[in-house]
Structure 1
Amino acid sequence: MSSKGLKSQKSTKRKDTESSDKFDSQKSKKPKLVSGDQNVKPNFGKPKSTGDKEQRNVTLSKKELRVQAKELTEARKKKRKPHYTLEQELGSLWEKMRRRDIGKEERSKLVSEAIRKMKGKVPEIAGSHVSSRVLQSCVKFCSQAERDTIFAELQPRFLTLASNKYAVFLIKKMFDGASKQQLAACISSLRGHVARLLRHMFGSVVVEHAYHLGTAAQKQELLAELYSTELQLFKGLASTTEKRVVDIIAKLGLQKDSVNRHMAAIIQPILEKGIVDHTIIHKLLIEYLTIADKTSAADVLQLLRAEPVRWEGEGDQLTKSGSLLLRMVHTRDGSRLAMLSIKHGSAKERKMIIKAMKDHVQKVAFDQFGSMVLACIFSIVDDTKLVTKIIVRELEPTLKDLVMDKNGRRSLLQLLRPNSSRYFSHDDLASLDLSVPSLCSKDKSETSSLTKDTDGNESGEETKDEQEDTVTEHSDHEENVKAAGGKKDPLVRRRELLVNSGLAESLIDVCVENAEEFLKSNIGKEVLYEVAVGGADGILCPSLSEKLCELYEAISSVAAKPKPQESEKDSEHILENFHSSRTIRRLVLDCPGFASTLFKKALSGKCRSWAAGHCSKILSAFLETEDLQVREMAKPELQVLVNEGTLKISANKKPE
């Protein structure tokens, strides 16, 4: 073999040995397994200390783990809350003092002990969820001296606590139990901060409570601060004699534009946040609309009509809040704002307001001021199909309750006899006639408004006839309607809402079923009377005359019942009842059809037995009525009683 071939073999062997040495060296670098089992994975973690191994070997039960976690939580709370131990002690005392079966002496001892523990720390713990509840109970059950001590500690931190979501309830409780001097001190401490607190969700509650409890002068003091910067800085400029902002401007010589800007800067953030549930805010908005220019007034009403997307509650209980106007109708000024928004809104905006009332109509109808909003809708909105679908259909199931309710009957009476001074107070009629001065047409003489301007010239709402003349010819109502009213004839609108909708027929059926109950009620008798006479302008008579005859028969059937015995004192006959006898007398005088039915079915041949008591007024009405046929029908039997002196007729009421 040649030397060249030998060298090549040696080089090959050398390469093989080098590759095998590299493989052995790499193999030797692998970590060795701890146990003999080849399938166990090696542990590449950091070596643990001996203490960790001992702790790993100790197993804790579930109860011990819970105790350990609780102790850790308690330790963290003690670090975070400086008065945590005190709050725990107060909580245990509170659980005892708020029980109903505890004696007064024992409760007073617990209250005194809680106040002793809190002494000097009341302002610090008043904002706590637990301690504020304890303080409320202490204020409720403690003596006047102890209450004065708590009040003295809280007063320096009053403004801070007024914005706390837990302390606000304590502040309200302190207001309720405060003396006149203490309440005056609290209201004075609000000076200069009313506007800021009204923009706060919890602070506004404190201002509203103070406004509700304050005297007329204190209310005016809180309100005047919102009118202008001068009234905010200088106390005593506005007196109780000038309650309206226009009168204050005229007396003090303030610049109207400056007042307008100041009030707008306060109102806008309040409306944007949706804080509209308070009386003081409603009053502020009403006063602002009396001086606002056309654009500003339209903007405010637009914000009120808007439905903000807000969610209330937690978790699965989240619910969307209603429109702003729906949350305001529970007060006098709030209902007036709702009526102004309806009057000066376009057809589209009115439709949005009515749709927002869906599923809430019954609650609004039974409210003292909300019922006037429904009366306003029945008097103004021309879209009778929408009103019937949303409002009338929700009222029909509760017609009996509406008739027997002092507030609920207003919406029905507005359809039967609109704007009647017999059923609506002067203030109610004034609310229906209000309008925003800057949004009203000034082409003709204007006789009524929200207020007068600074020059003394009347600017505001037109009379009803002038309103109908000044309504624009725009068919779509996309622009705001500046006249307070709709295009449709009022009688046509009433007929569509009352007769064509079927509401009148249902109302007559309810009156037939409950005739005796309604007649004996001081409230229900008014609706029954208006239904029986056919409403104003005889709106029910042409198409529902047969149904009205059924009502006459039902009343006469009840009147035809025999007199109750003297032992039956609870069941008073409708001819002898104070309320029903007077209502029947009015029906005899005003409704000849009813008078004929009543005499034929209940009184003919029995007049002598009914000639005494309240029923004598009913019998005399047959001779006093202007209807000749009714008079001639009853005269033969009644004239004998008159000649005998059994039945007396007033000289000024004798028919000619």
Structure 2
Amino acid sequence: MTAKGEGSNESKKRKRFSSTDVKGEKSNPKKVKLPSKDPNKGPKKPFKPAKQQPHKAKSQFVKSEANYGEKAVPKTTRERRLQAKELAEARKKKRKPHYTLEQELASLWEKMRQRNIAKQDRSKLVSEALRKMKGKIPEIASSHVSSRVLQTCVKYCSQDERNGVYEELRPHFLILACNTYAVHLVKKMLDTASKEQLGEFISFLHGHVASLLRHMVGSVVIEHAYQLGNATQKRTLLMELYSTELQLFKDLVSMKETRLVDVISRLGLQKASVLRHMSSVFQPILEKGIVDHSILHKALMEYFSIADQSSAADIIQQLSGPLLVRMVDSREGSRIAMLCVKHGSAKERKKIIKGMKGYIGKIAHDQRGSMVLVCILSIVDDTKLVAKAVIRELQTILKDLVLDKNGRRPLLQLLHPNCPRYFSPDDLASLNLSIPSLCNKGDAEENSDLDKQKKSSEVGEDGEDNSDTENVESENLNSVEGGKKDPFLRRQELLVNSGLAESLIDTCIESAGELLASNFGKEVLYEVATGGADGILHPTLDAKLDALHETIATLVAQPKSEGPEEEHLFENFHSSRTIRRLVLDCPTFASILWKKALKGKCKMWAQGHSSRVVCAFSESSDSTVRDLAREELQPLIDGGILKLPENKPLGKAV
């Protein structure tokens, strides 16, 4: 018992006090480390973290609260949130000198901008806000909140109060024009300014127009002043972009000349120095992409009028791409886009068309942008690219385009190019614009070709060559220059081969009644039903056109309704005139219409708008159409029931 007990005690002592056995082997290899070989260093003691004593921190907090009467650390989440809010308010008060005033103005603004507030109550709130801001308006105009309060006050205050605000802001307009928030107040001041105040503000801009146009915010003020100014004030702002002399000397800009060529000759300026100055003005503007303003578009058009080949080509290269999409909504901007399409290389044209991807529908509905699409369809020879990028987007919104005043223009250009009925003289003139320095070589080649044709015609025996030369000259005057492909082949590839014509005919069949009664849709329907200029839709789509003729005749053949709500197509102003034109110009449709809708019913339609359709059968140049209606129309004419326009007699059969 004794030996067993002693052995057990010894073994317990070894396990408790020794980490190694007698031979030096590890008894617990996971926990025991070998002693260091350095005699000066003993074994490292394991690190023991200090014990946390939360009761002491609590006692300190209680002690500080008892001693000083304030909380050092908030207890709840709500208290922490309130303390953070108070700290933020204190920081704002230190950072913003008029923070308290802004808070008061914000509360007044919430009341004065309500729609259902009485006019007298609003005027009291506006007067109170202006009274609090008096003397501090230039300082608080740059604030995000206070600038909005000022805009509302300027909008609803009296003229005397508005003049007071103007006088206070007067010395600081140029600084405020470059501020992100104050610029809206400056625009509001310009909108409500009198003629004298607007003229004075424009005079403040003298010498700073070019620098402000390079500023993303300041350029907005220049454009706003340019739009509000009269012709003289616009000319004053524009001339500062021409030369350094016009920036320095204010008296030089007071002249009546508007064209840059006339200004150069009048003042005796050097053309090279003007080009250098304008290039230095335009370069940073184009690099920053500030191309949305009409004053810049006008200046660029004047620059193209005097630029040499390299300078004009550089500007075209910079503009070719997505930048041009932002310029097409103004008159001069759309012309710049057309010049870039006309004089750009194939690579630049490709960039321009690809930059319009996704915006074709929006451009087509715009008055100026639609003419850019017309120019692309008339000039670009890469019809595969145009069909993929332009025609494909137009097909998705075809009905909207047909019924839209501007959206129908690209379609009409393909159906009947450069028709004066659909395009104004200004539109046709913009299509024929060119840059002088980039077309001199082409003009010289064209003139030499014309001279050769004249000489060959003089050598010929008959006069056929002379007539051909005259036709070439007239085509050069009326056609759009720039493309090398045959115009008829280009139209056929874009209109017929791309599938646009088939989709267009299907749209006309589905909405024939709506298009006939529409002021704008009737033009597209007429061109499609007649097969387009030069018969471009024949004979490929003759079956589709016959279906369209049958649809129109079926709609017209419907009986006349007694109710005043529904108007018959013969009695409608637009549809009656469109049907009349179809009868005169399309004998196939005239014969179908006679058999389905008019045969035996001419007496019923011999009065009102429908009489024009009936008379069209007697005015037709086709003898077959006249013979169809002769037997039935002659008694109506003799009896005075049907009156021919301008007393035209019934045509005789040939």
Q: TM-score range by the shorter chain?
A: 0.7 to 0.9
Tell me which moved more, 59-68 or 362-371: 59-68
In structure 2, distance between residues paired with 1:467 and 1:626? 27
How far apart are 1:184 and its partner, in Å? 1.0
Letter in 2 for 1:89: E
In structure 2, distance between residues paired with 1:102 and 1:55? 54
User: Residue 170 of structure 1 corresponds to which residue in structure 2?
Assistant: 185
How far apart are 1:393 and its partner, in Å? 1.1
In the alignment, does 2:284 pair up with 1:269?
Answer: yes
Q: Deviations over 1:149-200 (max 9, x none)?
A: 1111111100000000000000011111111111111111111100010000
Q: Does the 8 A contact of 2:61 with 2:72 survive in 1? A: no
Task: Extract unaligned runs of 5+ from structure 2.
Answer: 1-39, 66-70, 448-469
Q: Percent of aligned pairs with the same residue?
A: 64
When residues 632 and 239 of structure 1 are mapped into structure 2, their CA distance, relative to the original with a 3 A threshold, is: farther
In structure 1, distance between residues paired with 2:446 and 2:594? 48
Q: Deviations over 1:302-350 (max 9, x none)?
A: 11114xxxxxxxxxxxxxxxx1101111111111111111111121221
Please show how residues 237-386 of structure 1 align to structure 2 within 5 Å: 237-238=252-253, 241-306=256-321, 323-386=322-385
In the alignment, does 2:556 pair up with 1:547?
Answer: no
User: Residue 222 of structure 2 corresponds to which residue in structure 1?
Assistant: 207
How far apart are 1:250 and its partner, in Å? 2.1
User: Residue 584 of structure 2 corresponds to which residue in structure 1?
Assistant: 589
Please show how residues 212-611 of structure 1 align to structure 2 within 5 Å: 212-238=227-253, 241-306=256-321, 323-442=322-441, 444=443, 484-565=481-562, 568-611=563-606
In structure 2, distance between residues paired with 1:536 and 1:561? 30
How far apart are 1:523 and its partner, in Å? 1.1
User: Residue 180 of structure 1 corresponds to which residue in structure 2?
Assistant: 195
The TM-score, its normalising length taken from structure 1, stands at: 0.83
In structure 2, distance between residues paired with 1:618 and 1:101? 56
In the alignment, does 2:85 pair up with 1:62?
Answer: no
How far apart are 1:236 and its partner, in Å? 4.3
Q: Secondary structure at the match of 1:440?
A: helix
Q: Deviations over 1:240-289 (max 9, x none)?
A: 64211112112222211111111111111100110001111111111111
User: Residue 636 of structure 1 corresponds to which residue in structure 2?
Assistant: 631
In structure 1, distance between residues paired with 2:646 and 2:171? 74
In structure 2, distance between residues paired with 1:553 and 1:643? 32
In structure 1, distance between residues paired with 2:236 and 2:647? 55
Runs of 4+ in 1 over 6 A off after TM superposition: 50-53, 466-469
How far apart are 1:443 and its partner, in Å? 5.5
How far apart are 1:466 and its partner, in Å? 7.8
In structure 2, distance between residues paired with 1:613 and 1:163? 64
In structure 1, distance between residues paired with 2:261 and 2:41? 99
Please show how residues 100-115 of structure 1 align to structure 2 within 5 Å: 100-115=115-130
In structure 2, distance between residues paired with 1:183 and 1:151? 11
Q: Secondary structure at the match of 1:542?
A: coil
Q: Deviations over 1:7-60 (max 9, x none)?
A: xxxxxxxxxxxxxxxxxx999xx99xxxxxx955389xxx99x98895599641
How far apart are 1:351 and its partner, in Å? 1.3
In the alignment, does 2:139 pair up with 1:124?
Answer: yes
When residues 577 and 240 of structure 1 are mapped into structure 2, their CA distance, relative to the original with a 3 A threshold, is: farther
In structure 1, distance between residues paired with 2:489 and 2:644? 41
How far apart are 1:235 and its partner, in Å? 2.8
Q: Secondary structure at the match of 1:563?
A: coil
When residues 94 and 578 of structure 1 are mapped into structure 2, their CA distance, relative to the original with a 3 A threshold, is: same
How far apart are 1:465 and its partner, in Å? 5.5
Q: Which of the residues 609, 618, 626 maps onto 2:621?
A: 626
Q: Which of the residues 134, 138, 147 maps onto 2:149?
A: 134
Task: Extract unaligned runs of 5+ from structure 1.
Answer: 1-24, 32-37, 307-322, 449-462, 470-482
When residues 624 and 239 of structure 1 are mapped into structure 2, their CA distance, relative to the original with a 3 A threshold, is: farther
How far apart are 1:446 and its partner, in Å? 9.8
Q: Secondary structure at the match of 2:419?
A: coil
When residues 351 and 604 of structure 1 are mapped into structure 2, their CA distance, relative to the original with a 3 A threshold, is: same
User: Residue 206 of structure 2 corresponds to which residue in structure 1?
Assistant: 191
Q: What's the RMSD between the two structures over aligned residues?
A: 2.8
Q: Does the 8 A contact of 1:374 with 1:411 survive in 2? A: yes
How far apart are 1:230 and its partner, in Å? 2.2
Letter in 1 for 2:199: A
When residues 240 and 572 of structure 1 are mapped into structure 2, their CA distance, relative to the original with a 3 A threshold, is: farther
Tell me which moved more, 607-616 or 117-126: 607-616
In structure 2, distance between residues paired with 1:153 and 1:527? 58
Letter in 2 for 1:332: R
How far apart are 1:82 and its partner, in Å? 1.3
How far apart are 1:94 and its partner, in Å? 1.2
Q: Does the 8 A contact of 1:350 with 1:381 survive in 2? A: yes
The TM-score, its normalising length taken from structure 2, stands at: 0.84
Q: Secondary structure at the match of 1:388?
A: helix
In structure 1, distance between residues paired with 2:411 and 2:445? 30
Q: Deviations over 1:360-406 (max 9, x none)?
A: 11111101111111101100111111111121111112111111110
How far apart are 1:355 and its partner, in Å? 1.2
Letter in 1 for 2:483: G
In structure 1, distance between residues paired with 2:81 and 2:242? 59
In structure 1, distance between residues paired with 2:532 and 2:609? 26
Letter in 2 for 1:634: A
Q: Secondary structure at the match of 2:145?
A: helix
When residues 332 and 651 of structure 1 are mapped into structure 2, their CA distance, relative to the original with a 3 A threshold, is: closer
In the alignment, does 2:132 pair up with 1:97?
Answer: no
In structure 2, distance between residues paired with 1:509 and 1:199? 50
